[in-house]
Structure 1
Amino acid sequence: MRRVRAICAAGLCLVTLAATPACSQGDAPTKNAAGTVPAELQAGEAKFNANCAACHGVGGVGTSQGPPLVHKIYEPNHHGDAAFQRAAAQGVRAHHWEFGNMPKIDSVTPADVDQITQYVRWLQKQAGVF
């Protein structure tokens, strides 16, 4: 009986280890061929870094304070661009992650959020999210 349990435990460990990469939060986004964010997205990058990166991480990869935005959950078909506007204007009740609720962000305008969203979508595309 002990041998059966040991074999089952070993199998469970192998399955868990094999599944771990599939559950990762995604690779860090890559830069374009020139090594920089495209000029038309740099304002969005700066606004993201100033208003979002403390929780969502530089490059949107997440931190211990907030989830990665470069993740399948935030692809346009699941969280459309309007979701970013609502999140900034109203905050968000925690529902996908266990980081707690996101407060509204008074320091950004709807135009700022549009630029931030375009930058995040570019990051997602670079990482192969969509």
Structure 2
Amino acid sequence: MSDSRYRSFSMKPVWLLITVLILGGCSFPNEEERLAGQGLPPTDFVASADSGRGLYQQYCSQCHGRQLQGVDLKGPPLLHDYYKPGHHSDLAFYRAIKFGTQAHHWQFGDMEPVPEVTPKDAAHIVAYVRKHQHRAGIQ
């Protein structure tokens, strides 16, 4: 075996080791991190409307009203057919919370993102809103 073939052969494990070390040092997102990047909770997460009540009051009521009826000149009512599940899916709520949204039904202006609300918090808030919509006959 010539020296050049021997060197190239012996370098393959070195390059393989370098590649593994580089890739091993990279952090690939797991499924929960990937979903969170989209504003979504883990797929196995069970939201609670009861937990959503306080979160809604803390983060949403200033614009959408304490009873989800909206606030003049600030934000639309969530107890409205526009926000029923068949027109605005849960995904639309998650995306609005994570990324904000442009005004499209009302003249309140755009909704800014709410970065303090985690995807799990958002799931609780959506459960709370859906519970009250259901009670109001919005389905």
In the superposition, the TM-score normalised over structure 2's length comes to: 0.64
Cα distance in 2, alignment partners of residues 54 and 80 from structure 1: 22
Q: Residue 27 of structure 2 corresponds to which residue in structure 1?
A: none
- Work out whether 1:117 is the aligned partner of 2:126: yes
Q: Please give the secondary structure, in 2, of the residue aligned with 1:76.
A: coil
- The DSSP-based 3-state class of the residue aligned with 1:73 is helix
Match of 1:46 among 44, 48, 54: 54
Superposition map of 1:1-130 within 5 A? 40-64=48-72, 65-130=74-139
What displacement does 1:42 show? Answer: 1.8
**Which secondary structure state, in structure 1, belongs to the residue aligned with residue 85 of structure 2?**
coil
Deviations 1:49-88 (CA, angstroms, capped at 9, x unpaired): 0000000001211011100001100000100000011001
**Matches of 1:55 and 1:97, distance apart in 2:** 13
Query: Runs in 1 of length 4+ with deviation above 2 angstroms?
Result: none
Between the aligned partners of 2:49 and 2:99, the Cα distance in structure 1 is 24
Letter in 2 for 1:76: P
Q: Distance in 2 between matches of 1:95 and 1:46?
A: 27
Please list every run of 5 or more consecutive structure 2 residues that lacks an aligned counterpart in the other structure: 1-47
SS of equivalent residue, structure 2 residue 82 = helix
Identity among equivalent positions (%) equals 43
Distance (whole Å) between structure 2 residues aligned to residue 103 and residue 67 of structure 1: 14
Number of residue pairs the alignment of both structures matches: 91
TM-score (structure 1 length as normaliser): 0.68
Q: 1:94, 1:80 → 2: CA distance? A: 16
